């Protein structure tokens, strides 16, 4: 169990953030907000994938004009992303937006910032205040900018983190003077280590909820590594109240990876099957990668969080699949299926996918009817009868399950 930092709690359209509430998942639409139909369609897709909150960009008045229609149709709370024009914030508030993302540093007139805060207080709307690596360095004062850049060049991580914290302290003075505390903070960078340091510093300095994320993390192939490295480190140490994993791709992928991260850390309950599979190696005699992909596709129709294992051999498979509700061990031309440790089927390779899916459907239905419980701990799986290697000589084929287990020396397993 992760011991989470206790922060002030805010309410975003019925979704609590902070104060020990479950870590919520956010994403952002990539549509033009004024184009209502595709924006609503994307919001619904994100919600179906498990997103709790969706942010929309409102750079122009036609975007805020579209908010009433979007809010009426959205299944989740909506956040308005405001950067330079306080008028957009006021319009979004008037239309009933659930939260504002604001950068006070981009709105030079203090009275305008005060007006946004007053309007949000009146309607009970939280504000996210964010700083990031790309905007925290001074832009107007050339002498100050040069000094900051020189300091950063000597010690990038420490200096950038210090600048971010100072910027947030300056912003928070505005909110404190307005006696407004329903604020969520974010400190983003492209650098995973800077993100970790910045949020740790913020958690030590403020008691406000933290929105975790990296800025312009990149495509999923690289962005997920950078994001999980930083966000996983922070979440595992109890820091973070809401997260967005950002990709230059379909935002649904952001939600899928955020869900898996939270489930893996025990910060979110699974609502669909968990698929595990053994790593590929020279013992595998089927197209394991293809089988795993097909099993994953099939499992999307099941909405019960059962654990399913796909194993490519009988050497390490039984041990690695312990705890699975339904498991298949594949060999040359054959597959053995287990349900909670009990062998139920031995099928030909071309029947393996459908047979496994049928067992998963059956087990999920039994769980839903209350006839059986999902595995909460390891189950004892006795290795199935060995399956011959495709090109092994006849006298090289093991004859018993014990022969298959012979690579085990004492308690050590050959990897």
Q: 308-317 pLDDT, tens per residue?
A: 999 887 666 6
Backbone angles phi, psi at 130, to 5 degrees: -125, 145
Give the E-state strand segments of 58-217 in sequence order.
Answer: 78-81, 99-102, 127-132, 183-188, 211-212
CA dist 335 and 208 (Å) reads 53
Long-range contacts of 82-88 (CB under 8 A, 24+ apart): 82/58, 83/59, 85/59, 86/112, 86/113, 86/115, 86/116, 87/61, 88/58, 88/59, 88/60, 88/61, 88/63, 88/64
Question: Beta strands 326-331 and 307-311: pairing type?
Answer: parallel
Full-model pTM: 0.85
For domain 10-264, give the CATH number.
3.20.20.20
CATH class assigned to 274-404: alpha beta
Coil, helix or strand at residue 79:
strand
Instruction: Write out residues in the chain with pLDDT < 70, as ranges.
Output: 314-320, 376-415
Q: Which residues of 355-364 are buried (b: 16+ CB within 10 A; e: fewer)?
A: bbbbbbbebb
Domains 10-264 and 274-404 share a fold: no
Domain boundaries, the chain: 10-264, 274-404
Q: What is the pLDDT of residue 316?
A: 61
Q: What is the pLDDT of residue 218?
A: 83
């Amino acid at each position: 169990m992760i011991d989470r930092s206790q922060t002030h709690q805010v309410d975003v359209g019925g979704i609590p953030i902070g104060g020990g509430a479950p870590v919520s998942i956010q994403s952002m639409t990539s549509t033009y907000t004024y184009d209502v139909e595709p924006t609503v369609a994307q919001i619904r897709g994100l919600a179906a994938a498990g997103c709790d909150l969706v942010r929309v960009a409102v750079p122009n008045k036609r975007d805020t004009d579209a908010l009433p229609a979007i809010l009426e149709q959205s299944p989740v709370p909506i956040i308005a992303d405001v950067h330079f024009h306080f008028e957009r914030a006021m319009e979004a508030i008037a239309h009933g937006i659930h939260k504002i993302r604001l950068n006070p540093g981009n709105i030079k007139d203090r009275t305008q910032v005060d007006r946004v805060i007053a309007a949000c207080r009146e309607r009970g709307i939280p504000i996210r205040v964010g700083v990031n690596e790309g905007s925290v360095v001074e832009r107007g004062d050339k002498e100050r900018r040069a000094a900051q850049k020189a300091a950063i060049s000597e010690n990038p991580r420490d200096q950038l983190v210090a600048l971010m914290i100072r910027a947030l302290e300056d912003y928070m003075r505005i909110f404190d003077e307005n006696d407004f505390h329903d604020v969520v903070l974010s400190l983003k960078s492209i650098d995973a280590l800077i993100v970790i340091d910045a949020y740790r510093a913020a958690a030590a300095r403020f008691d406000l909820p933290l929105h975790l994320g990296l800025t312009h993390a990149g495509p999923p192939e690289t962005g997920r590594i950078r994001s999980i490295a930083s966000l996983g480190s922070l979440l595992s140490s109890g820091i973070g109240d809401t997260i967005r994993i950002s990709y230059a791709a379909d935002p649904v992928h952001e939600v899928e990876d955020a869900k898996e991260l939270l489930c893996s850390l025990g910060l979110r309950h699974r609502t669909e099957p968990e698929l595990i599979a053994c790593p590929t190696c020279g013992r595998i005699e089927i197209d394991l990668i293809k089988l795993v992909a097909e099993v994953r596709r099939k499992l999307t129709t099941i909405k019960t969080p059962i654990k399913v294992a796909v194993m490519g051999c009988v050497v390490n498979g039984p041990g690695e699949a312990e705890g699975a509700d339904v498991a298949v061990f594949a060999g040359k031309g054959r597959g053995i299926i287990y349900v909670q440790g009990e062998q139920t089927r031995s099928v030909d390779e071309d029947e393996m996918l459908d047979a496994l899916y049928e067992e998963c459907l059956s087990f999920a239905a039994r769980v839903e009817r209350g006839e059986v419980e999902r595995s909460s701990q390891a189950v004892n799986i006795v290795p199935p009868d060995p399956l011959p290697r495709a090109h092994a000589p006849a006298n090289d084929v093991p004859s018993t399950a014990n022969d298959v287990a012979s690579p085990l020396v004492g308690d050590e397993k050959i990897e």
